[in-house]
A and B are shown apart, each in its own frame.
Chain A
Amino acid sequence: MTTRYTASHTSLRTAGIMLVFTVLFTMVMSLTYNATRPAIEASELREKMRLINDVLRPGSFDNVLLDDYVELGPTPELGLDKGGRVYRARNGGQPVALVIETVAPNGYGGRIQLIVAVSVDGHVTGVRAITHSETPGLGDYIDPKKDKDKAKPWITQFTGLSFAEVAADKWKVKRDGGAFHSRVGATISARAVTDASGKALAWAVRHNRDLFAAKNGDRP
């Protein structure tokens, strides 16, 4: 630095250079954002559809499921304190099933986000954990991807059941006197998922008609 630069000159100059770098790299970032956005949106959509195909038999509905939903406000029965969505599956215009976003607040590692699909006749067609932070190798068997039993993952035991097969007061883990087994040493994760799916089923059975009658995107 030569002496002809004053302090104010130096600070202006460095500030200017900082500004140039900021603008330059913000530009680089926004270019990347715009270039990757279509691919990101496509893969997010694919991911959602894959989850929905896990809980609903593919081909059992013919509407664009992701565009046919009811927006819920805070719903304590489903553990939703900020609201969520219920997607409605229809076949030829006839109601088929509801895909419900629900939250089990009492997992070992905090909240477990689930989707539960319930057919119009009150059967669970599938439950999946979307996000959770259960202990790796212990409680994370609620996620079929982490479940060691690949042939019959733990979370599939709800599939096909209604309150006719398992009474509402038996929709618990065996440890609590219910009907569903849990793995030794990791009852808390199983209990959270079991209770939340039972609540979601009861809620779906109760509000089935209102939900299908509600206008698209509306609150029931």
Chain B
Amino acid sequence: MNMQSFRDNAWNGLWKQNTGLVQLLGLCPILAISTSMVNAVSLGLATLLVMALANFAIASLRNFIPYEIRIPVFILIIAALVTMVDLSFNAYLHELYLVLGIFIPLIVTNCIVLARVEAYAAKNGPLESTVDAVMMGLGLVWVLALLGGIRELIGNGTLFGGIDMIFPGLSPISVFGPDYPNFLIAILPPGGFFALGCLIALYNWISSRAAARAAARPKTAPAPDAEAAPTS
């Protein structure tokens, strides 16, 4: 794969087609798990792993999958991979599994995974598909980290709460001191919607400013937006 398509993949995944802020796929896990930064990043990384495996597997097998039954086969493959990740987490990362336990099986139902498989892996080679999945996953991870960090900071006054369950010995940072009265709504579900709404507004503001600046500037080279937005 060449440098240009790698850059396109990275740009689309991390910013332009960001799963958390633009495609808005998988809102349910995003809102449910982003109560603290550690939870959010952990589930983001688990989703990234599943996406990379699913995209690789399906891109490799895509010539054997008949078009008519592609969706059942995709779901079958994704479900099998999630089961494998779930069992492996349970066996080898048990502490983390206790935190994420119930959310890992739910990755199956996360539309991000199916959307990337259908929009990208079914039409591209294994290497490009894996890169696409990793970039889309990283885009999700940074949004989740930011969202989880904001909610945890406002709601609980701490950052990295629960880090000791993943790295024993490290302890959370108490930003506002022990007397912080916990602004609880940030952690409860409505706070998830508020925080995500603010992030999306910020994203749109930055994008529209960048677009306005690009329009004002005389054109020198075509923007790297060659790839059309995938639909799902």
Contact = CB atoms under 8 A, between A and B. Distances in A.
Interface of A: 10, 13-14, 17-18, 21-22, 25-26, 28-29, 32-33, 36-37, 39-40, 43, 46-47, 135-138, 145, 148
10 contacts: A17-B66, A18-B73, A21-B77, A28-B84, A32-B83, A36-B88, A36-B92, A43-B91, A47-B98, A136-B36
A24 to B, nearest CB: 9
B35 A32 contact: no
Contacts of A36: 87-88, 90-92
User: DSSP majority for the A interface?
Assistant: helix
B16 interface: no
Nearest to B87: A36
Given A14-B66, A40-B90, A29 B84 contact: yes
B163 to A, nearest CB: 12
Nearest to B82: A29
Contacts of A40: 87, 90-91
- The 6 A-B residue pairs whose C-beta atoms are closest, nearest first, are A39-B91, A36-B91, A25-B80, A43-B94, A36-B87, A32-B84
B165 interface: yes
Given A13-B66, A135-B184, 5 more contacts: A17-B64, A32-B83, A36-B90, A36-B91, A137-B182
Residues of B in contact with A, size category: 20 to 34
Contact of B72 (A18, A28, A29): A18
A43 B72 contact: no
In the complex, which of the residues B65, B87, B156 has the most CB atoms of chain A within 10 Å of its own CB atom? B87
A5 to B, nearest CB: 11
Contacts of B91: 36-37, 39-40, 43
Nearest to A22: B76
B225 interface: no
Interface in B46-92: 64-66, 68-69, 72-73, 76-77, 80, 83-84, 87-88, 90-92
Contacts of B98: 47
Contacts of A26: 80
A135 B188 contact: yes
B91 to A, nearest CB: 4
In the complex, which of the residues B65, B83, B91, B92 has the most CB atoms of chain A within 10 Å of its own CB atom? B91
A76 B73 CA distance: 47
Contacts of B90: 36, 40, 43
A84 B92 CA distance: 28
Contacts of B77: 21, 25
A156 to B, nearest CB: 18
A29 B94 contact: no
